[in-house]
């Protein structure tokens, strides 16, 4: 199973497309996780109803078995790390943001924690326009 840490932006879309490609290559299923802590009234990274429908349509078209989960009230990093502890989880795919020269020394805190603490391989991708 390929696990995708999805956000409702261009970085999440890049992770989704790379995750689909990996699932096809490995002949396995996908688990797309789009979580929110629920601490703020609006979380732009949490997919809306229309965005969820778009993701489900894309996943249905790709021909790979999939599940889409939207846990609320959880820490995104912990949710992904817990999922990656499952025996069937093979690879975690996440989108990363472009950084300035100074910022390149450090990844974003979420990406950095996932890469350092994930017990399985992590594929960090960025949108093609970067």
Torsion angle of C-alpha atoms 58, 62, 68, 74, degrees rounded to 10: -80
pTM of the model: 0.87
- Per-residue confidence band for 74, with pLDDT thresholds at 50, 70 and 90: confident
DSSP-assigned beta bridge partners for residue 119: none
Greater pLDDT, 50 or 61: 61
Phi-psi region of 73 (alpha: psi -120 to 50; beta: other; left: phi over 0): left
- Per-residue confidence band for 20, with pLDDT thresholds at 50, 70 and 90: very high
Question: What pLDDT score does 100 carry?
Answer: 56
| Domains, in order of start, for the chain | 2-125 (3.40.50.620)
- Cβ–Cβ contacts within 10 Å for residue 113, how many? 17
The residues near 106 (Cβ < 8 Å, ≥ 6 apart) are 99, 112
The number of residues in the chain equals 130
Question: What pLDDT score does 15 carry?
Answer: 97
The secondary structure of 10-65, three-state, reads: HHHHHHHHHHHHHHHHHCCCEEEECCECCCCCCCCCCCCHHHHHHHHHHHHHHCCC
Greater pLDDT, 112 or 43: 112
Question: What pLDDT score does 44 carry?
Answer: 58
77-122 per-position pLDDT tens digit: 999 999 999 999 999 999 988 665 555 555 457 888 999 999 999 9
């Amino acid at each position: 199973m390929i696990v995708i840490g999805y956000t409702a932006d261009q970085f999440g879309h890049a992770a989704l497309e790379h995750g689909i490609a990996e699932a096809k290559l490995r002949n396995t299923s996908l688990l797309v996780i789009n979580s929110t802590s629920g601490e703020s009234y609006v979380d732009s990274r949490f997919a809306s109803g229309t965005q969820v429908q778009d993701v489900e349509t894309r996943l249905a078209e790709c021909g790979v078995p999939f599940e889409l989960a939207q846990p609320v009230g959880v820490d995104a990093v912990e949710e992904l790390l817990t999922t990656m502890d499952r025996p069937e989880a093979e690879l975690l795919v996440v989108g990363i943001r472009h950084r300035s020269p100074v910022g390149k020394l450090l990844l974003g805190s979420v990406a950095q924690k996932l890469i350092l603490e994930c017990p399985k391989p992590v594929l960090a991708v960025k949108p093609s326009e970067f």
